[in-house]
Structure 1
Amino acid sequence: MSNAPDPRRRPPAVKTLDHTVAAVPLLQGRVLLHEHTQPIPGPRPALDDDLGGVVMTGANADTRAFQLRADVGYQGTLLIDSAVYTTYTATAEEPFMAPPDELFGTVEHSLNFQKARGASAALTPTGYIPPASSRALKAVLREANRIERADTLVSLPIHVTWLNRENIGQLTEVCARIRHPKAVILFRQFDPLEQAKDVPSNLRRLFTEVENMSLLRTDLAALDVMAHGALCAGIGVRSSLRHAIPPDDKAQTGKGGGGPTYPHILMPQLMRFKGAEFLSKVYGNADPATCDCEECDGRSLDSFFLSDGETQREAENHNIYIWSEWVSNMASYPAGTERKTWWRDKCAAAVDRCALENQRIGVGASPKSGFQVPAPLKAWATLPVTP
């Protein structure tokens, strides 16, 4: 009887880009767009080629990424995040989820496959790391440091309570010991940075004390970490891609029941995302805020109160134009105190404008009648600027 391996049981050969090409210089200083995988991907003219890029996110991310490269001709920076953390929880024995449809699938094969489908760098298929699951976090450290390639980012899909006062020290220590660049993804229903008062400052601490940290699948927190030394960051194109929820949770929404889904609009002056339905109501008896970005050209922000696909994409492009301009402005300031001060002052101005906007349209600052300052924005506007 032959002991030769059965060729049918070998992982299929894939053509991969050179894994010795380092991820860090390819990603340095970029804020990427987390795209969804439901529609066929199309070009996003709002993205800055020098400072931006795409993270194709979710089921079929590899297929959509390949289409973006091959069919659309996209040549920019690209990551593939199949988001295994939405269904798989990391354990002390298996922190990474190898490809489930491959016999003898390995993490190495997963990384190679991403590169073969067009990824500029590869993300580890890390499972969700629950609150206080120290053994799973340490297992990520152990397995990540076994990876012998330069093109890899170690994905850290953590519950936001890892940023609480009790856990931030251990998280920082583990991140510092992982020798590859890291990509944090925060989990919680609604805005993770509103989980506790010290979360925004502890997130800054993590990114200040550990080199080559990234924050993916987030909102304007991407710009805060970029101002404070992040390698790169990623902003979700829709609210569902601006945070993640644990595998066993069901996504909660701000309104009960079903009904149409309306876009969330990034307000340039107030530096916050608000639902189009809310904007339609709050500006019902007042002149609405307008936008002069290339997508809007003076359009009123309450006019996005439509649920069709064209309006959704217009709203997405508006959002990208706005935050891409901020990324470009930030990049014009030297890294360090000048950049941090610019960001602090910009956030402080937005906090002040919130009260002025409520006064202009004659409403109070209650959640139902007017605009409130988001807790993270208030923190970014008031935390001290450190060297």
Structure 2
Amino acid sequence: MARWRIVGGMVAVCLFLVGGCASFPDDGSRTWHDQVESSGELGGPPTLDEPEPPADPSSGNAPPPTSSAPQQPAGCEDPDPQVVATCLSPVGAIAVLPDGFSALVAERTTGRVLKVQRGSAPQLIATVPVDAAAGGLSGLVLSPSYAEDELVYAYAATADDERVLRIAPGEAPKPVLTGIPRGPGGALGVDTATGSLLVATGDPDGAAGNPASLAGKVLRIDTLGRPTAGNPAGTAVYASGLSNPQGMCTGTDGTTWVTDRAAGRDVLFRLGAGTLGTPAWSWPNRPGVAGCSVLGGALAIALTGTKSLFVLRPGQDGTFTGDPRTLLPDAYGRLAAAAAGPDGLLWLGTVNKDGAAGALPKLSDDRVIRIQPPTGGGASAA
């Protein structure tokens, strides 16, 4: 039985191509033809015109047309106007601040929490002690009452356990919930209905079905680390059945989605109390699901392995409408973190320097990008 304890008594003022078969839980496998896009409504990496060479006065002709290749990063300077911050360590999570122009970024391997804004150098906010080899810093959310308390919550793997920590301005991170078994994955979210923290934990030893273990679960706790009233068994456990969770996101309708790298496939769960059960969506080709975000009626899922963004449009009763779309194929590399901004823009973070096969960092990696969000699935492609 995994040991865990709640630390209380503190004031909480605190989606390259996804082809093949994607499956609905009710209809079995279907073959989808993704619409692959790298620009359009998302803006895409801008194409910046190179200056034309001066005309040759002896020829009497205009100069030949020049190519319009995108400018490349130079050191930590990236000409792409959608890139907010560069030269970071792999980005584990993003929490967009209320102004919409700045965000807090969790560096997975260093444990640093940085405030980033385009045109400004990253500002160190806090450093969380982490075990990078065990997953490091993988979750970051603003307090449900951030406007009043300016608190931030982080999810980190340490040498001893995995834990939720509270970050207050000018203070060292303090533990809120400790003793979570060290395992793959981990993410944080917020239950907008209750103002609770949602904690997705990995399952290292097949303990997801053990109600006494915090492994392979979604925990629902208050900002002091106590179980939220209404949890099924009166404990911190709200739902069970995760393997290697990578992201959580909640839409305006209150529906929360969890991405998970399960055995033999990647999956997307629609969160509900109890056992998670049949996934809402699955990827047998395992593209590397990571963070997710819900914006403008679209559910966008960062894909690390296929270096792209996968977009679904949720319908009623946990179904989806239209066909999925694959966007930004290899535009920024291995996408991992995703977050919604209050102005309706989508923030993404990369993990091109994480040492994984296929990761080809540029000089300006790793990066945080801020883009116009997708509008969701459309008609089937021909």
Structure 1 length as normaliser, TM-score? 0.31
Question: Larger % of helix: which?
Answer: 1
Higher relative contact order (CA 8 A, sep 6+): 2
Return the structure number with greater strand share.
Answer: 2
TM-score where L is the length of structure 2:
0.31
